[in-house]
Amino acid sequence: MRHAFPLLVLLALPACHGAGTTALAEPEARTEPSVLARVTPKSPSARGHVGGDPGHAGRGTALAPRTGHELAAFAAGCFWGVEETFRQVPGVVATAVGYTGGHTDAPTYPAVCSHTTGHAETVLVEFDPTAVSYATLLNVFFKNHDPTTKDRQGPDVGDQYRSEIFTFSPAQAAAAAAAKAGEEATLKRPVATRVEPIGAFWMAEDYHQQYDEKTGNRSCPAPQGLPVQGT
């Protein structure tokens, strides 16, 4: 993450395991790319209800947003903190974490961590375009991770941690490409973010879903890149 947050308590989080291991029943030690603080998560009533089934997501099933909504998908490192960031964005109505962008069916977490599947840890977002624009979501994406590192966010290294925007339409692809170009111009450095149409999305294991919200771990206390209120 490019933004520093106050250090309260450092946490040990689940680590990737190589191929050949069984699916994890519970998280083990894992390093997050940003400093983590333990805080009391917002209650559903405080943040508004945010669901966990964007686009009726399943294990590789077809995605379909609810009437009047749209879908977006972002890979920006460990999907726990990325999901928590998007769940705080007004206008986001549902999120889930999963795997996409690879060449294998029904990937598991250990398989993705073996760097043999090509899948990225991805957050699927369902949003109300009358409440938040896709351009704003793109800005949140770019401002909450380092898009200049290839297959890496901080100490987390591997293709599953790559920076990528998975698009659902030609309009999204054009907007994503323009946002990437704008970020390169701002940073004056090459941006490694990939842009490609989304393929099958495989929901991750249950314990990964809304992980920060469930445990009280917060990678990003407030999303960066939101429009200033009143402008």
Query: Where do we find the tokens 């704008």?
Result: 182
Query: Where do we find the tokens 């939101």?
Result: 226
CA 25: distance to chain centroid? 22
The one catalytic residue in 16, 78, 113, 220 is 78
DSSP per-residue string spanning 187-214? HTS----EEEE----EEPPGGGTTHHHH
The pairing of strands 92-100 and 37-38 is: unpaired
User: 51 has which bridge partners?
Assistant: 94
Catalytic (active site) residue 113: no
DSSP per-residue string spanning 67-94? TT-EEEEEEESSHHHHHHHHHTSTTEEE
Q: How far apart are CA 148 and CA 145, in angstroms?
A: 9
Q: How far apart are CA 219 and CA 212, in angstroms?
A: 8
CB atoms within 10 A of CB 108: 19
- Known catalytic residues are 78
